[in-house]
Chain A
């Protein structure tokens, strides 16, 4: 049975969800990893596949090819800026966003940014375009900061997303995470998303929980994985029970199957 909880996004509710995270220890061991790998290997396909919560929520439908835009760059720049402000508290978020963009531009100017990278794209932007990108990144960073600043527990900005390569299955799983609360009793992860949570938000959250657990060096699951939708003022949370982890893994495998079908029949031909 799923442990999905739904709350309004207020400081009190978020703190309550963090504080009441279960203290049970759930881990995924080598047998679980081997079993997952076997299931992914059973899904045909020659290409390397990359799955995340978004692809689970979209049921494997492949959208447009990735391209940089103010809304795709904001999370990278905003997250980086927030990490700077945590390391140097005298820095304002606005200054940190500017520093982050300057660093990316310097990387491009010194030839370290490869074609298609964020730095390369920023280097091609005009001054007003950079202004807009700064505004979007500032919005994102401020939003995450406000969530973090309202927490009563010690928090940190996630150093990176969680990545897990499924052995011998040509599959990489990417789990999104924005804030982490790591205490002696529990580990809680917070992920922030724009817009409204859809009907598949729960499976998406469970997938992120599973990926985060797989990416943990000893397979230790976070006690609770919380999704925040600030625009909608909604919080969803899922606990690390073995049932939820299994459900997350199943959704990821199903998404790989669906992706394979879309690739084989891109014009919607049904498999009978």
Chain B
């Protein structure tokens, strides 16, 4: 179900968790069923055969269901995404971001040391670097203006990793949730998942939102309240309340992706 509010919320954070009174009871029973469906589905696809290396499925694997050119997968697009994510991490702990590009780059360097994409940034010439900086700054400003203060009582966690093995490790579901708020301890569902993308929102964004909810459910055994995505390209936000139908749909999408990857030459 897509959540529609009567009035547009002032900040993204306001729409993340909604009213406490309207939250459903926490669902701790769906996770084992979903795992069974996935395990059965993996067996249907792969049978008794085992790949030499585990088949890894990520949110990005689901984005590529239809063959297309995605500019967010170019080095420039990937660096932009990483840096905007770093800005989100800083904002989530109340750090003031005065120069988004420099601040995010410093944080990223500290986090990852040296890697291929940082090497890509280091070899950019002045014009290319200026273009990247302008791009990152524009996206970050959209985020800074829209996000709003994240209360520390909401237990914000950023870049939360999850890895789930299926079929004894033959298939691995990997995921990183940009920002997660709320607790898994309580009688009502309160965990909200928040994803930031630098691309415009599309059908694949919905798949990603569902995938985050599915992997989080498998990881904790508790169904999250809501999954949300925000585009820094358009300032648009989509939010879905998590229910069994949404999770089932995501499980089917994961199995379709697995079938595609398993049968790919």
Contact B110 A149 (CB under 8 A): no
Residue of B nearest to A68 (CB): B110
Contact A139 B160 (CB under 8 A): yes
Contact B221 A132 (CB under 8 A): no
Contact B185 A8 (CB under 8 A): no
Given A132-B86, A132-B111, A146 and B152 contact (CB-CB distance below 8 Å): no
Contact A128 B106 (CB under 8 A): yes
Residue of B nearest to A137 (CB): B93
Contacting residues, chain A, for B156 (C-beta < 8 A): 94, 138
Contact A231 B110 (CB under 8 A): no
Give chain B interface residues in 186-221, CB to chain A under 8 Å: 218-221
Contacting residues, chain A, for B184 (C-beta < 8 A): 11, 146, 150
Cross-chain pair count, CB within 8 angstroms: 109
- B239 close to A (CB within 8 Å): no
Chain B interface: which size bin?
Answer: 35 or more
Contact B165 A196 (CB under 8 A): yes
Nearest Cβ on chain A to B13's Cβ, whole angstroms? 14
A148→B87 CA distance, assembly (Å): 30
Residue of B nearest to A232 (CB): B163
A139's partner among B96, B107, B152, B158 (CB-CB below 8 A) is: B158
Contact B152 A128 (CB under 8 A): no
A1→B193 CA distance, assembly (Å): 43
Contact A233 B218 (CB under 8 A): yes
A146→B157 CA distance, assembly (Å): 12
Contacting residues, chain A, for B86 (C-beta < 8 A): 128, 132
Given A70-B111, A93-B155, A95-B152, A132 and B185 contact (CB-CB distance below 8 Å): no
> What are 26 sample pairs from A and B whose C-beta atoms fall under 8 A apart?
A8-B221, A9-B220, A10-B28, A10-B31, A10-B220, A11-B221, A12-B28, A70-B110, A93-B152, A94-B93, A94-B94, A94-B153, A128-B103, A130-B95, A131-B107, A132-B86, A133-B110, A135-B90, A135-B92, A135-B159, A143-B157, A149-B185, A230-B220, A231-B163, A232-B165, A233-B164
